[in-house]
Amino acid sequence: MYRHKNDVKTQMVRITNVRMMYSKEDGLKRVDLAVHNGEFVFLVGPSGAGKSTVLKLIYMDVMPTDGLVVVNGYNSVNIKKREIPYLRRKIGIIFQDFKLLNDRSVFENVAFTLRVTGTKRNEMKKKVLRTLADVGLNHKRNNMPLQLSGGEQQRVAIARALVNEPFILLADEPTGNLDDEATHNIINVLEKINSKGTAVLMATHDYQLVKNMGKRIVRIEGGRTLN
C-alpha cells in the first residue's frame, strides 16, 4: 500500500522563486523547495515563518503572487479551479488540531473521504481496515474520537489522510499538541508510511526533534527558504 513506482528522483513537488503578498506585505519573500518521490523532508522554522503557507501552496489553497508551484503535473499558472479537487485527492493532509468528526466513529472518520469519492462499500471497508492497521488502531475502529488520547486521534487523522493512497503526505505541526511519547509514536508512524513509498513533508518549529533523524531539513526564516 502507498507504494509509488516512479523513480525516487522524480520531483513530485516543485516550488520555484515564490513570493506571497498579504495586505501589501510579503508573507513569503522567496521560497524554493523540491520534494522528490518517496522523500521525507522537514520544513523547519519559527511560528509565523510561513510553513503553513508553503503547505497551502502545495495543495493549492492559496496561489503565489509571483513564482511557480508544480505538483504532480499540475501548476499554479494553468490549473483550473475544477481540477483542484482532483489534485487534492492524491495529497494527504494532517494538522495540529486533528480536525476529526467527533460525532462519527474512528471507522467512519477514515471512510469519509472514500464516501465522498464514491468508493464501493466492500472496497471501502478493506481500505479503511488496512489503513487503520497500518497506524495501529484497527482495534479501536468503533470508538468515538473523544474516547481516544491525543496521539491516537492524530493517528486516526493520519489514516484518514492515507486511505486514498496519496503520493505525498503534508503534515502541519502534527505533534504540536502532543506529549513526548505521543510525538515519537507519530514520528514512527510517519517513517513507516514513508518507508512504503509515500513522500512526507512535515512542517515543525521543533528543530531539536528532527535534527538527528537523518532526513533532509529545509529551514524557512523571514519568508525565505534556506536549503
pLDDT tens sequence across 187-218: 999 999 999 999 999 999 999 999 989 999 99
Mapped onto helix, strand or coil, the DSSP state of residue 89 is: coil
pTM: 0.91
Q: How confident is the model at residue 3, as a pLDDT?
A: 42
With bands split at pLDDT 50, 70 and 90, how would you rate the model's confidence at 2?
very low
Give residue 22's pLDDT.
79
Partnered with residue 66 across adjacent β-strands are 19
Q: What is the pLDDT of residues 114-158, one digit of tens each?
A: 998 889 999 999 999 999 999 999 999 999 999 999 999 999 999
Q: What order do you get walking across the sheet with 91-94 strand by strand?
A: 74-75, 66-71, 11-22, 25-36, 224-226, 216-221, 40-44, 199-204, 168-172, 91-94
Q: Domains of the chain, with CATH numbers?
A: 11-226 (3.40.50.300)
pLDDT of residue 109: 97
pLDDT at 1: 44
Rg, Å, the chain Cα set: 17
pLDDT in tens, 61-103: 999 999 999 999 999 999 999 999 999 999 999 999 999 999 9
pLDDT computed for residue 47 by the predictor: 87
